Chains A and B, each alone.
Chain A
Amino acid sequence: MSLQVNNLHAGIPDREILKGLTLEVKPGEVHAIMGPNGSGKSTLSKVLCGHEDYAVTSGEVLLDGQDLLAMDIAQRSRAGLFLAFQYPHEIPGVSNANFIRAALKARQPEGEDIDAVAFYKQLYARMDQLEMDRSFTGRSVNEGFSGGEKKRNEILQMMMLEPKYSILDETDSGLDIDALKVVARGVNAMRSDSHGILVITHYQRLLDYIQPDIVHVLMDGRIVMTGGRDLALELEAKGYDWVKEDDRALAA
């Protein structure tokens, strides 16, 4: 049982961006991926989710043994994969509550509906945890939300959908320290033996609050170094250039 990425090569039509990426996230683990701009961080999350702008040229991805790349975007989601977007989209005219309910209903067997009372009970409990005002249920998804509110909304959706594997794509970007703490609390509340989390981040700061078990360094489309929590601190102290010179880095 894991989210297993094996020697993944992927990119846009003229350019390969992921050049043989290998990674395995097991349930209960929190992995962090750090890397400089252009290393392929956001490409990785989009490719795993099936964004049509990217093509996989070789390699495989298995989610609990199932061929993830053979599934379409919605199927991957229903198989238990969740992406907390770096730039969450607005959906005008669709309320937050209806959106989350539609996502839950899409996972139900044909014809079955969600119990409204249970749904709202859970929704409010999660919103309280994230310090989100209840008025957000009626507002259009992400419309007029501040950066912090959008990121909290992503975590709210994660909490309501209870995925098996979550990718948090630069969840800390654009957040002040207080918002960061609230978001981190939400993520930490979702740590469990049945949930594997992949945190993609540029800065070390987030990892003070969401402490990873394993840290990877992504450079030029490949994971070049893997270590424990301390690796993140070392990176922050020495910068990414250091990685290229360190002999722990994988041969180019």
Chain B
Amino acid sequence: MIATPDITDIRADNVGDFTFPERNLYDSGFGLNEKTVDYICDVKSDPEWIRDFRKKALATFNSKPMPTHWATKDLENIHFDQFRYYLSGGTKPKKSWDDVPEDVKRTFDRLGIPEQERKFLAGVEAQYDSEAAYSNIKKVVEEQGVIFANSTEALHKYPEIFRPWFGKVIPTGDNKFSALNSAVFSGGSFIYVPKGVKVKHPLQAYFRINSEQFGQFERTLIIADEGAELMYMEGCTAPKFDTATLHSAVVELVAMKGAKIQYVTVQNWSSNVFNLVTKRGVAHEEAEIRWIDCNIGSRLTMKYPGVVMKGRKARGEVISIALANTGQHQDTGAKMIHAADETTSNVISKSISIGEGRSTYRGLVHIPKHLKGCKNNTECDALLINSRSRTDTYPAISVRGNQHATQHEASVSQVSADQIFYLMQRGLSEGEAMSLSVNGFINDLAKEFPMEYSVELKRLIDLEMEGSVG
């Protein structure tokens, strides 16, 4: 290639790379066993049924092997006894920004969080290590009857709504990490939107890991009652430590008849985080669930947002952008399970591999024989920037019956040298030309993200591209 500019430190401008000294009031210590679970239950004053639930989950977790027969062997580098599973400065989230402890406040200030809240959003929940440090839900939304709380608050205050759905969309035993989360979950959002209520502005959460050798296990449950609509956005960051950090969340969505849930994530964990997440939604008759997912950070992400289309004419969609740089593996995809007639699913995945980064697409589409009139469309495109960049695609499409329509398109490409020459001939540097080309590649999908996220997305991609040329 043309004369290589110096490779700059890609993360030199990482806004999230800072840390405050730990000030934990509660610390479950290293390692995971029944005592850890008891500690968590005691701190949270969990009811008996949860204590039971957690303990059973712990047993399930211990009994399941690591899925290295199909997933990356890097999972073997997770040493469960070297994490702390619960850390917090106190359990009650503050309602007023002034009451939030100084270092937590400065963390979120630096990440731009309260600003966001003022400007645009209906409600914000900010989690710092294991607990929510700040939570606020605008009056308007509250008056509409919307509930927005963290998972602990929810199971105490709203058990009649929480309990029927908790653990139903993603059963404990779904996989090793949903079991882990079920044992030690803390924080995460609980949202209930009443019938017919359409929440105009997005509800939002931020997840921040401050401590070293720590596992964050938030549990989110969102229920949109009949005809309800909402958009939920989450962003995640962590400083870079030399030791590993584990993030294993579970997100369950329930869209009742005619409801619509859009769940937007921009994940920018630092490069030492193992990000193993289980996300799934159940869409009832004529309901719609859309996952809009962007994975830029972490050392290893394994995440396959899914939709079970349980009612007639239900719709599921996954829009995914992944960027894997050297030292990163983004192993993402989608699971579309058709369980009713005339259901439609759509998966659009675009990945970019830079340096020695690896991106993997795993897409499951399941349409059984007895259903009629189901449709699936899948499109997965991979862009390889450097000669050592890597991408894999594992589609698993199972369609039975003769009244369905399935379509699968895949492509792997490089940014052509001719395209770069054209852009450079107009005065753009090689880095600028690459950035523009890569942004062009994901442009269609970036437009699906709310405006300030797509601006942030472009900024993050430009940063990643800086070190990639040559």
State whether the Cβ of B62 lies closer than 8 Å to any Cβ in chain A.
no
Q: A51-B421, A89-B422 are in contact. Are A106 and B429 (CB under 8 A)?
A: yes
Within 8 A of B (CB), among A24-80: 49, 51-52, 72-74, 76-78
Instruction: Give the A-B pair count, Cβ closer than 8 A.
Output: 78
Indicate with 1 or 0, residue by residue over A156-196, a CB within 8 angstroms of chain B CB atoms.
Answer: 01000100000000000000000000000000000000000
- Tell me if B199 is interfacial: C-beta within 8 Å of chain A: no
Q: Count the B residues whose beta carbon is within 8 Å of the partner chain — how many?
A: 26
Q: How many residues of A contact B (CB 8 A)?
A: 27
Q: A103–B426 contact, CB under 8 A?
A: yes
> Is B437 touching A94 in the complex (CB atoms < 8 A)?
yes
A74/B424 in contact, CB under 8 A: yes
Query: CB of A88 within 8 A of chain B?
Result: yes
Nearest CB on B from A51, distance (A): 6
The residue of chain A having its C-beta at the shortest distance from the C-beta of B431 within the complex is A74
Q: Mark B207-230, 1 if CB is under 8 A from A, else 0.
A: 000000000000000000000000
Interface string of B436-448 (1 = CB under 8 A from A): 1101111110000
Judged by a CB distance under 8 angstroms, whether A85 is at the interface is: yes
B426 touches A161 (CB 8 A): yes
Known: A52-B2, A89-B418, A91-B422. A102 touches B428 (CB 8 A): yes
- A157 and B427 CA atoms in complex are apart in Å by 12
A89-B418, A140-B440 known; A106 vs B432 contact (CB < 8 Å): yes
Interface residues as binary, B1-15 with A (CB distance below 8 Å gives 1, 0 otherwise): 111000000000000
Contact A94 B429 (CB under 8 A): no
Separation in Å of the A43 CB from the closest CB of chain B?
14
Instruction: Contact check, A85 vs B422: say whether CB atoms are below 8 A apart.
Output: yes
- Tell me how far the C-beta of B455 lies from the nearest C-beta in chain A, rounded to whole angstroms: 14
A80, closest chain B residue (CB)? B427
A223–B437 Cα distance when bound, in Å, is 38
Contacting B437 at CB < 8 Å: which of A83, A91, A103?
Answer: A91
A103 to B424: give the CA distance in the assembly, Å.
Answer: 9
Residues of B within 8 A of A78 (CB): 427
Q: Bound state CA distance, A102 and B425, in angstroms?
A: 12
Minimum distance in angstroms from B77 CB to a CB of chain A? 36
B419 lies within 8 A of A74 (CB): no
B439 and A94 form a contact (CB under 8 A): yes
Report if B423 contacts A (CB, 8 A): yes
**A139-164, CB under 8 A of B: which get 1 and which 0?**
01000000000000000010001000
Q: Which residue of B has the minimal Cβ distance to A91?
A: B440
In contact, A72 and B436 (Cβ under 8 angstroms)? no
- In the bound complex, CA of A99 to CA of B426 (Å): 9
CB–CB B442/A93 < 8 A = yes
CA–CA, A49 to B437, complex, Å?
20
B430 at the binding interface (Cβ < 8 Å): yes
Partner of B425, one of A83, A90, A94: A83
Tell me the complex Cα distance, A72–B5, Å: 12
> Chain B residues with Cβ under 8 A from A157's Cβ?
426
A126 within 8 Å of B (CB atoms): no
CB-contact partner of A93 in B421, B427, B440, under 8 A: B440
**Bound Cα distance from A140 to B422, whole angstroms:** 14
Query: Are the CB atoms of B426 and A72 closer together than 8 Å?
Result: no
Q: How far is the CB of A31 from chain B (nearest CB, A)?
A: 20
Asked, given contacts A51-B421, A72-B3, A91-B422, whether A107 binds B439 with beta carbons under 8 Å apart, the answer is no
B440 near A73: Cβ-Cβ < 8 Å? no
List the B side residues contacting A51 at CB < 8 Å. Answer: 421
Residue pair A73, B425 in contact (C-beta under 8 Å): yes
A89 to B, closest residue via Cβ? B422
CA distance A78 to B442 in the complex (A): 28
Residue contact A99 to B429, C-beta cutoff 8 Å: no
B235 CB, nearest partner CB in chain A, Å: 24
**Is A94 a contact of B440 with CB atoms below 8 Å?**
yes
CB distance from A90 to the nearest CB of B (A): 8
B1 contact set on A, CB distance < 8 A:
52
Q: Bound state CA distance, A106 and B442, in angstroms?
A: 22
Q: Cβ of A77: which chain B residues have Cβ within 8 Å of it?
A: 424-427
> Nearest Cβ distance between residue A198 and chain B, in whole angstroms?
15
Chain A residues near B443 (CB, 8 Å)?
92-94
Are B442 and A73 in contact, CB atoms less than 8 angstroms apart? no
CB of A161 within 8 A of CB of B427, answer yes
B417: A residues at CB distance < 8 A: 52
Which residues of chain B are within 8 angstroms of A161 by Cβ–Cβ distance?
426-427
CB-CB under 8 A from A52, the residues of chain B are 1-2, 417, 421
Minimal Cβ-Cβ distance residue in B for A160:
B426
**In this complex, which of A73, A85, A89, A140 has the most chain B Cβ atoms within 10 angstroms of its Cβ?**
A73
Interchain CB contact under 8 A, A49 and B429: no
Shortest distance in angstroms between A143's beta carbon and chain B's nearest beta carbon? 10
CA distance A147 to B422 in the complex (A): 17
Contact check, B427 vs A107: say whether CB atoms are below 8 A apart: yes
CB distance from B445 to the nearest CB of A (A): 9
Interchain nearest-CB distance for A163 vs B (Å): 10
Asked if residues B419 and A103 are in contact (CB atoms below 8 Å), the reply is: no
- Bound-state CA distance A89–B426 (Å) is 12
How many angstroms between the C-alpha atoms of A77 and B62 in the bound complex? Answer: 63
Would A73 and B2 count as touching, CB distance under 8 A? Answer: yes
Residues on B with beta carbons closer than 8 Å to the beta carbon of A82: 425
Q: What 5 A-B pairs have minimum CB-CB distances, sorted nearest first?
A: A93-B440, A93-B443, A103-B426, A94-B440, A73-B424
> Can you spell out 13 A-B residue pairs with CB atoms less than 8 angstroms apart?
A52-B417, A72-B430, A73-B2, A73-B421, A76-B425, A83-B425, A89-B416, A91-B419, A91-B422, A99-B436, A102-B428, A106-B429, A161-B426
Instruction: Beyond A73-B2, A89-B416, list 12 extra A-B contacts (CB 8 Å).
Output: A74-B425, A77-B424, A77-B425, A78-B427, A91-B423, A93-B444, A94-B443, A99-B423, A103-B426, A103-B428, A140-B440, A161-B426
